[in-house]
């Protein structure tokens, strides 16, 4: 594989002694221009630092987490690089990609689509797990040997799937309110039937509960879930993840947070716990 | 004055053990519906807590600070209520109010307009310094004897003016990148000429540097200003505030922050310092 071409830098902002930066590049995986955001902590001035990927939820962009989660303060203290990709291709367009808010633009579901017309560009799984890490290793002071991943909702699903399918690539994984069993909820069924086709046997490769029931990945998985989350019962189904973890013997710390909802006021409340969880596993 | 009518609650979110809430009410000062946001810290469950007002900058709403500054974490720890009003009336409309981004909607400049047609509704000074505090005291667990105020850019101007004109009402004041001498910069001249009319002698009542040159308010004023702020020289002019403070003997701690720009990545970096500054003066 040739060395990745350096991404363009769209904006930079000083932040907690480090740098927030926003980038755009031509992605081979999605055959589209893609955007992503990076927080580079001050420690990266003198050495490569561990890198923690955050996958965002439906309708979000590469900016959402960086703007709303309040993660940079502690990332600067812990010496963690934060990377947030966009949630789908944006610049290439496919008919129907903006017909609904929970599918298409802003809703790539971190799968490699196999069904037409989406298969041509909606390859967010390869983009997030392979192309983007290679780009970070080549052009940023990121330590490719110390990677962690986490995410929210659709992105919590994406993070769990990425870590369960690549146990050696990610040292740590956590999630906020993940879509834990997408094969069995309306959001997931809609997305998978379009991206992966009608044959449900192919869906299990992107279902965290199905993957986890088959194989534990070692270590602990941290999940926070608000009890006041309006999507809890129908879309998120943390019980399915608990059952799968029990089946394979995976250590899972599921924390039900009383009264918290699905938004970034919830995420910001517990972001420090997640950053410390990852730092304990990445900074050693 | 009759007791203020309770505002409607549009949304609530659990956040750091306290509650983020968004409200709407019919304002007497602006004769328009107004929106504001409140962060109520956990300590307010058992007692009235000090209240810190944040005035936002051009184009912002009541949501911006609450979403982007990362202030709730430390406010929860310190027991501070945070209140963020919108930056202008929104629901009542005046011809020309959306003709430019730096005047009218989202740009009330925290003055009581005296010139037609703006005088009918653009009375943000009275709204912020009198009506909103009375509403908070009547319907929230806010201690009206422990109030502080801060803000950003246009809102830094607003906070300084509010505190300099009402030294007994606010125990503490600070600002991020304030428009320090609006009578002498393009944003201020545009806004004041429309809101206050052509007679510049009336403008000084809303110019922090003019007010401060005439009277010190006691205590210290904290101001953070990024050196990489593109508005620094033409619009913000911290030097005018320094000169005014010297003239009246006001203690002013102006911190020039190397490389920081005008946005919320700058504010979030230094928000903890400001919250501690206010808490030292409010929580005693």
User: How far is Cα A111 from Cα A96, in angstroms, rounded to an integer?
Assistant: 18
Contacts of B116 (CB under 8 A, 6+ apart): none
Reading the block at residue A172, the tokens are 């740590």
Reading the block at residue B86, the tokens are 């919108």
pTM over the 0.90 mark: yes
Partner residue facing B269 (CB), from A16, A260, A261: A16
**What ipTM was predicted for this assembly?**
0.95
Mean pLDDT of B260-266: 98
- Interchain contact, B265 vs A68, CB within 8 Å: no
The candidate with the shortest Cα–Cα distance to B179, out of B71, B246, B262, is B262
User: How far is Cα A140 from Cα A45, in angstroms, rounded to an integer?
Assistant: 11
Give the pLDDT band (50/70/90) at residue B139. Answer: very high
- Interchain contact, B268 vs A68, CB within 8 Å: no
> Within 13 Å, how many C-alpha atoms sit on residue A162's CB side?
36
Specify the pLDDT at position B1. 59
Measured CA to CA in angstroms, residue B159 lies from B35, B39, B61 at distances of 18, 18, 16
User: Do A130 and A69 meet the contact criterion of CB atoms below 8 Å apart?
Assistant: no
Which A residues in the span 185-244 are in contact with B, Cβ-Cβ below 8 Å?
A: 226, 228
Which residue out of B97, B194, B229, B274 is catalytically annotated? B229
The pairing of strands A81-85 and A142-152 is unpaired
CA distance A198 to chain B (A): 38
- pLDDT greater than 90 at residue B73: yes
Partner residue facing B268 (CB), from A72, A226, A258: A72
Residue of B nearest to A70 (CA): B70
Mean pLDDT of A200-219: 96
User: How far is Cα B58 from Cα B103, in angstroms, rounded to an integer?
Assistant: 8
User: How far is Cα B207 from Cα B158, in angstroms, rounded to an integer?
Assistant: 9
Give the pLDDT band (50/70/90) at residue A1. Answer: low
- Interchain contact, B268 vs A13, CB within 8 Å: no
Contacts of residues A159-163 at CB distance under 8 Å and 24 or more positions apart, as own/partner, are: A159/A53, A159/A54, A159/A55, A160/A208, A160/A211, A160/A212, A160/A221, A160/A241, A161/A110, A161/A125, A161/A205, A161/A206, A161/A207, A161/A208, A161/A211, A162/A53, A162/A55, A162/A110, A162/A125, A162/A128, A162/A129, A163/A217, A163/A221
User: How far is Cα A98 from Cα B60, in angstroms, rounded to an integer?
Assistant: 27
Residue of A nearest to B70 (CA): A70
The candidate with the shortest Cα–Cα distance to A172, out of A87, A247, A273, A270, is A273
- pLDDT greater than 80 at residue A3: no
The pairing of strands B18-27 and B8-15 is antiparallel
Contacts of B264 (CB under 8 A, 6+ apart): A67, B64, B68, B69
Give the pLDDT band (50/70/90) at residue B284. Answer: confident
Number of neighbours of residue B258 by Cβ within 10 angstroms? 8
Reading the block at residue A197, the tokens are 């086709």
User: How far is Cα B51 from Cα B81, in angstroms, rounded to an integer?
Assistant: 5
A263 contacts on B by Cβ (under 8 Å): 13
pLDDT digits (tens, 9 = 90+) for A115-124: 999 999 999 9
Contacts of A146 (CB under 8 A, 6+ apart): A49, A50, A51, A171, A282, A283
B10, B11, B14: best to mutate for the A interface, most A CBs within 10 A: B14
Q: Does B255 touch chain A (CB under 8 A)?
A: no
Measured CA to CA in angstroms, residue B203 lies from A128, A213, B161, B196, B206 at distances of 55, 70, 12, 7, 6
Burial (CB count within 10 angstroms: exposed 0-12, middle 13-18, buried 19+), residue B114: middle
The candidate with the shortest Cα–Cα distance to A56, out of A29, A35, A25, A31, is A35
- pLDDT greater than 80 at residue A135: yes
Is B209 catalytic? The answer is: no
- pLDDT greater than 80 at residue B84: yes
Can you say whether the dihedral through the CA atoms of B24, B25, B29, B32 is positive or negative? positive
Is B21 catalytic? The answer is: no
pLDDT digits (tens, 9 = 90+) for A230-273: 999 999 999 999 999 999 999 999 999 999 999 999 999 999 99
Residue of A nearest to B270 (CA): A16
How much is the mean pLDDT over chain A?
97
B269 contacts on A by Cβ (under 8 Å): 14-17, 72-73
């Amino acid at each position: 594989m040739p060395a990745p071409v350096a991404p363009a830098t769209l904006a930079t902002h000083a932040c907690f002694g480090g740098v927030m930066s926003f980038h755009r590049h031509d992605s081979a995986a999605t055959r589209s221009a893609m955007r992503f955001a990076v927080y580079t902590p001050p420690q990266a001035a003198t050495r490569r630092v561990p890198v923690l990927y955050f996958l965002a939820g439906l309708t979000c962009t590469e900016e959402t987490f960086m703007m709303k989660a309040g993660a940079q303060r502690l990332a600067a203290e812990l010496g963690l690089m934060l990377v947030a990709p966009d949630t789908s291709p944006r610049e290439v367009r496919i008919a129907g990609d903006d017909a609904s808010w929970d599918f298409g633009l802003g809703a790539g579901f971190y799968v490699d689509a196999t069904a037409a017309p989406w298969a041509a560009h909606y390859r967010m799984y390869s983009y997030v797990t392979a192309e983007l890490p290679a780009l970070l290793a080549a052009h940023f002071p990121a330590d490719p040997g110390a990677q962690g991943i986490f995410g929210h909702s659709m992105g919590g699903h994406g993070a769990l799937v990425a870590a369960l399918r690549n146990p050696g690539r990610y040292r740590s994984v956590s999630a906020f309110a993940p879509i834990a069993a997408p094969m069995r909820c309306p959001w997931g069924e809609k997305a998978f039937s379009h991206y992966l086709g009608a044959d449900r046997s192919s869906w299990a490769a992107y279902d965290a509960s199905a993957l986890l029931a088959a194989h534990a990945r070692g270590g602990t998985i941290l999940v926070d879930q608000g009890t006041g989350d309006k999507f809890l019962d129908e879309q998120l189904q943390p019980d399915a993840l608990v059952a799968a973890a029990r089946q394979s013997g995976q250590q899972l710390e599921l924390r039900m947070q009383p009264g918290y909802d699905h938004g970034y006021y919830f995420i910001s409340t517990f972001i420090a716990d997640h950053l410390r969880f990852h730092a304990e596993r990445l900074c050693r």
